[in-house]
Structure 1
């Protein structure tokens, strides 16, 4: 075999090894932003077109919490009702003042490899909950949304 063949196969092997095979795992999907609404049931956030999804985990933490310090609740007993997920006070008690974020991951019922991530941020001031916009360090946005500030 010639030197060209060795070089070609060697280059092909390392190209595939370093770049991976194309597929859904090679694409970084942006997070979706959910909006906070307060109902009698608790603090709720929007989740449009969520009929065929189940909640795999939810993370509710004060703003500024490092990723390794986040508290994650796996398979929480929450359900999508009228395009909203409501967090009752029995699951999480929000402080009277401060900011926090909610990160939730949903998987598709028919294909568990497809998932959606919803991110919401809120501020509690004197016991009143307000929806706030998350910054670019907390949520993965498409690039065109990041430059439109």
Structure 2
């Protein structure tokens, strides 16, 4: 009688664990979440530029420039931007995108490398007011960061423990 009761209790738990493992798969290296980075924005002539730390040979694979209030499903992305990272900066000329004199924008882009396997995802929020460009702190819904306190340090988001 004791063996039957133990079987009745353990069987559902074991079958549930087995089903969950089959449905979700085993954890592995592909399951790691990649966090977004942000960058300091500057204006060089008519270009809007972003400082890329440790740029190496990374180049943009896609880019989205949208007003900050644009819902995710309505955002536009260019999957062949034709822009390059040079001297640690990614610059957007007016011929690629003309920013108006006023408004807030979210710029999202992915940098890939031929030498390194890990792509780098960037999210930058900026405000333009009277032709001047300012960094704006992205919200938790706009950027994926590790679990730490997010602060602005010289207009560049950094994690401080």
Given the two structures, how large is their TM-score scaled by the length of structure 1?
0.83
Superposition pairs for residues 47-62 of structure 1, below 5 Å? 47-62=52-67
1: CA distance, partners of 2:129 / 2:84? 27
Structure 1 contact 41–86 (Cα < 8 Å) conserved: no
Structure 1 contact 57–76 (Cα < 8 Å) conserved: yes
Call closer, same or farther: CA 1:58–1:115 in 2, change over 3 Å: same
**Corresponding pairs, count:** 146
Q: Kindly provide the CA deviation profile for residues 106-140 of structure 1, in whole angstroms up to 9, marking residues without a partner as x.
A: 1231355x211011111111111112111111111
2: CA distance, partners of 1:52 / 1:105? 13
Name 1:98's counterpart in structure 2. Answer: 103
Structure 1 contact 51–80 (Cα < 8 Å) conserved: no
2: CA distance, partners of 1:90 / 1:76? 11
- Give me the CA root mean square deviation: 2.6
Computing the radius of gyration from Cα coordinates, the structure with the larger value is: 2
2: CA distance, partners of 1:8 / 1:136? 37
1: CA distance, partners of 2:13 / 2:105? 53
Name 1:109's counterpart in structure 2. Answer: 114
Unaligned runs of 5+ in 2: 1-7, 152-159
Name 2:130's counterpart in structure 1. Answer: 126
2: CA distance, partners of 1:84 / 1:20? 40
1: CA distance, partners of 2:52 / 2:116? 18
Superposition pairs for residues 1-149 of structure 1, below 5 Å? 10=15, 13-40=18-45, 42-110=47-115, 112=117, 114-146=118-150
Unaligned runs of 5+ in 1: none
Structure 1 contact 36–43 (Cα < 8 Å) conserved: yes
Call closer, same or farther: CA 1:13–1:104 in 2, change over 3 Å: same
Name 2:155's counterpart in structure 1. Answer: none
